[in-house]
Structure 1
């Protein structure tokens, strides 16, 4: 492995490096506090109630989803074992509550299962040897038709709710979907065409939109949200290298890609058991479970399409699958309008008002998130995480041009950093992209300050709400007070966007391994900043803040070692900057750049005490089979 040795002295530690290491320390104290105050010795959450519907299992996993991600970044050594203990504890808890069998959800939709499985995916990446068996066993629930989930003849998953007990009929365990008046006011109804306009709203138990018709029409056949199963299958591929997982992704994601092509580029949201789009909805390509009409539309469909396409492209090294996402984005953008968000018909006002702040009254590009018999509606800004994840994977000019066009069409400044937290533990893709474009130089310090504020707020909320016996209606509290915030670290250290929340796999330009302790993450007192992610010039600065201890780390190209470092240009300083001990000041270091060939996915960097190095990595993207292998495997 090529070795680069740092020699430029750290005389004035960068503010971003100090803030980054302080954030890692803050998060370490935060997860310990959450673990102590909210969980039992076996790792399960302190909860004495029952669960009254099929919903809820994801909420027990989501508070921990990014803990092993923090370990991968460089969190405390004992965080890995702690995360595993909580996973096992919560799985046992869900089994006792009747939600799980054989360590996997019995059967629920993948908008929610994708959220909860992020915890499993990050644990597999952090400790592949320990989690390989589960990763492949879970994926085989979908590869093996005998498990009852997948129909290879029609290339469909046989129900929107599916899992360890196969395709699960219906969308609720009760005759009527547990819909509330508040949800109806916010999202309307599924199957809205079954009750004519102007007709009185039937009682819940008699409403065909929420009763037998919903169970019959939305509780069978494939749903677009099932594309997130691709993340589960790709996770198995990364840990095993077994080609049959890549073959399944070609087959299943390929089938959805063809359906989108046949529908003018817009992916439909439902497929009947006969393999025909719309056969359960009187020919409609829209109206399926968690689809275009109800409840979230593009918000959930865009993420599911991105998870499916990116997983297939990663495993097969065929970026053609990404056309599924490109055509979807282009279709809704083409239907956009320029309007202040405050005047939109958005069903998700709270999320976007926090995102836009005072810019809610500024005219901007809004695109339709939903479609029904009445046409397109529910206008919101584009969720930038989806087109950014697309560009991050490909580096293609056409995908960058789409981002630049979106930026030009918005009426607000993409460089603005607001200290909000959204559902995805993300939402700051726009100012990060502006930083990568070179016109938001203060971003590292500002996003780290926002992360400190988020973490401190959540710790305060954690303490305020500790020792409560939560009712079922309040179980979202756990994820809301999770003190681990990783978006800023993921962007700055790995040069990657935060993971797509509904079941994606982590993207990164680079990752790090402690060469001495032989574990993922940067060594103690080392900070990292990625300031460019262009393939021809991916720039990484590493700083050893310790003035007394040497550090050694391995830089890996890609989240899964999938990229090749063809060469590296590294900064170096001539000796003698300290001057003689009789002098009153140091000499200004004389810095030069040396070029070295690498031709592999890994580079060893020696960081003597008190040194820094800036690496300009020349990359060839997707040159190798992606894998969870660690550098010494």
Structure 2
């Protein structure tokens, strides 16, 4: 580990540095208030109520605090971690006391009983964030291993068939895949317009003649029968999110079997995609046969090409490829999600926005011929309003899922992947050099393009703007607390999530040079990660701010500023999990080769290896340091271990 001493004064620290530290402090104070007002004496959530019987909603509860460990791990107050532990334990207890229609609780052995990996992926973001925040916590490690074991070949849950490399149900969990009954979702709007007509059911080979039939209450029972017949067994692309659960266990333990699970299962889906002519099928039977329960059709599965579309199908290939690259260091795995994006681009339709710009409308769904008259805003239609259908593809619209294309470039650092993002730009929406003061969704997306414009040098004010917007998000929640009189006016499964005052996206982008993880189950992927060397804890030391100003295929540029009153030491790790290595480093304009020294275990005995996995930077009060570092990416074995772990006796 190479050591540096900051010598440049920061008598007037940049505004972004003050705003960043103020955001860390405000977030901790806001979470204090949130916990006091919106949970019980021991941190227990108010939902589910005591008499509740149901299947859905536990992930929504966890989403109300899932990112507190992440903010802590970036430099937030330790109170965030303490609150997260306490509320999570209380939520597990409440879930274990809540019955389902199946005769067992909603949460069994600390894991949801049987759910899909759209929702399990959301709920387990807390699990992964705790790995970053507290990898030495025995409960965190035990849960990581226990959860992963649910999907091994010899698990009593029987979620996974290793011979066929098939997850045996679209819904699975601690009780296995056999408790998937769609009619049991009594409070979930599966019969509403959104579920039937907007999502679309693979109904066109059945007795229904037009989309309106899906909204007829008289057909509801039959529609549930179709879902249970076609979508309650076998494998779907969303199950690729399980690779995050396995990668999480590997990052804790280093056990090879978890790595092998990821590459074996991903390999099975790539083989199925090749068998299907290059398009990932959305349903595979327990025998491994594509279309086993859909009369041989490769589309028509749960959260598949006809019921949900690319928004859901794209999650699994993106997340799994990222995990495989992290574990194996081979970026060839990215060809999998890249190929799926390219299929959509090849079938896209250019629509002129003005005299200069056109927006590519890519298809988001695939289905058979039939009547496509239904309410689908924002998509291309025929003159009579029918949704445009062309060679099976339909719902042509601008690419709305920023994470998929952005994450592909971020992991590959290839120019062609960056160009793909530009080609998918929606010229009919907001300027890329603008920050919306309000979060657009529950996971606060919508600023990926503005961040990329900043990295390209086109939006220099972005750090101040995004920090101002994030501060406004927190203030907005505090105003809501005041308006409600410090207690929730309504209590449902979303009440914590809709009031959570912690927002992490700006901090990820600015301090770690990282995009938001794919929300439905992805891991944090980052250029660098910071640690407080003096206190031996993750995150920036008190008073220290960080700004990643450039990310290229060669490396990055980073500025560290000590706004505080005492000397601090920062360890800057290459990658979120130590998976990268620094090659050459330039500090404040002076070029330095990185040489770990003869006594460092990272240094090669012949002196030829001049790379390092981390840098230790000493920052006197009121100082700053600018670092330009080359990066050799995905060359080291990833781990949650802190940088000083290897040198401890």
Alpha carbon RMSD of aligned pairs, Å?
2.2
Retained in 1: the 8 A contact 2:398–2:426?
no
Alpha-carbon distance, 1:544 to partner: 0.5
Retained in 2: the 8 A contact 1:494–1:508?
yes
Structure 1 distance, partners of 2:185, 2:135, is 42
Q: Find the counterpart in structure 1 of residue 323 from structure 2.
A: 311
What is the number of residues matched between the two proteins? 590
Distance 1:628 1:288, change over 3 A: same
Distance 1:205 1:117, change over 3 A: farther
Distance 1:202 1:518, change over 3 A: closer
Superposition pairs of residues 231-242 of structure 1, within 5 angstroms: 231-242=244-255
Q: Find the counterpart in structure 1 of residue 190 from structure 2.
A: 179
Superposition pairs of residues 503-518 of structure 1, within 5 angstroms: 503-518=521-536
Retained in 2: the 8 A contact 1:535–1:621?
no
Mean CA deviation greater in 32-41 or 315-324: 315-324
Retained in 1: the 8 A contact 2:55–2:185?
no
Retained in 1: the 8 A contact 2:181–2:228?
yes
Q: Find the counterpart in structure 2 of residue 143 from structure 1.
A: 152
Residue 458 of structure 2 aligns to a residue whose secondary structure is coil
Structure 2 distance, partners of 1:142, 1:315, is 18
Retained in 2: the 8 A contact 1:125–1:628?
yes
Superposition pairs of residues 195-344 of structure 1, within 5 angstroms: 195-198=207-210, 200=213, 204=217, 206-207=219-220, 210-294=223-307, 296-339=308-351
Distance 1:363 1:536, change over 3 A: closer
Please say if 1:446 is aligned against 2:465: yes
Mean CA deviation greater in 183-192 or 265-274: 183-192
Q: Structure 1 stretches of 5 or more lacking a match?
A: 342-358, 572-591
Structure 2 distance, partners of 1:66, 1:95, is 22
Structure 2 distance, partners of 1:208, 1:180, is 10
Q: Find the counterpart in structure 1 of residue 38 from structure 2.
A: 38
Structure 2 distance, partners of 1:123, 1:2, is 28
Mean CA deviation greater in 199-208 or 106-115: 199-208
Alpha-carbon distance, 1:161 to partner: 0.8
350, 365, 382: which one aligns with 2:360 = 365
Alpha-carbon distance, 1:317 to partner: 2.1
Alpha-carbon distance, 1:332 to partner: 1.3
604, 607, 612: which one aligns with 1:600 = 612
Mean CA deviation greater in 35-44 or 455-464: 455-464
Distance 1:566 1:50, change over 3 A: farther
Instruction: Kindly indicate which of the two structures has a greater share of residues assigned to helix.
Output: 1
Q: Find the counterpart in structure 2 of residue 527 from structure 1.
A: 545
Distance 1:186 1:607, change over 3 A: farther
612, 620, 632: which one aligns with 2:632 = 620
Structure 2 distance, partners of 1:206, 1:366, is 33
Alpha-carbon distance, 1:112 to partner: 0.4
Residue 479 of structure 1 aligns to a residue whose secondary structure is coil
Please say if 1:164 is aligned against 2:181: no
Structure 1 distance, partners of 2:169, 2:304, is 14
Retained in 2: the 8 A contact 1:268–1:285?
yes
Alpha-carbon distance, 1:387 to partner: 1.4
Q: Find the counterpart in structure 2 of residue 536 from structure 1.
A: 554
Structure 2 distance, partners of 1:461, 1:304, is 36
Retained in 1: the 8 A contact 2:181–2:232?
yes
Q: Find the counterpart in structure 1 of residue 65 from structure 2.
A: 64
Per-residue CA deviation, residues 253-310 of structure 1 (Å, 9 max, x unaligned), is 111112222323321111011111111101111111111111x311122122211111
Structure 1 distance, partners of 2:141, 2:643, is 17
Please say if 1:2 is aligned against 2:8: no
Retained in 1: the 8 A contact 2:182–2:227?
no
Structure 2 distance, partners of 1:593, 1:188, is 57
Alpha-carbon distance, 1:25 to partner: 1.6
Retained in 2: the 8 A contact 1:385–1:427?
no
Structure 1 distance, partners of 2:18, 2:570, is 19
Q: Find the counterpart in structure 2 of residue 498 from structure 1.
A: 516
Per-residue CA deviation, residues 220-271 of structure 1 (Å, 9 max, x unaligned), is 0111111111111110011111000011111111111122223233211110
563, 574, 585: which one aligns with 1:568 = 585
Retained in 1: the 8 A contact 2:117–2:171?
yes
Residue 450 of structure 2 aligns to a residue whose secondary structure is helix
Please say if 1:455 is aligned against 2:452: no
Alpha-carbon distance, 1:203 to partner: 5.6
Superposition pairs of residues 375-454 of structure 1, within 5 angstroms: 375-382=392-399, 383-407=401-425, 413-421=431-439, 422-454=441-473
Alpha-carbon distance, 1:168 to partner: 2.5
Retained in 2: the 8 A contact 1:59–1:476?
yes
Structure 2 distance, partners of 1:483, 1:549, is 29
Retained in 2: the 8 A contact 1:223–1:269?
yes
Alpha-carbon distance, 1:216 to partner: 1.7
Mean CA deviation greater in 52-61 or 185-194: 185-194
Alpha-carbon distance, 1:61 to partner: 0.3
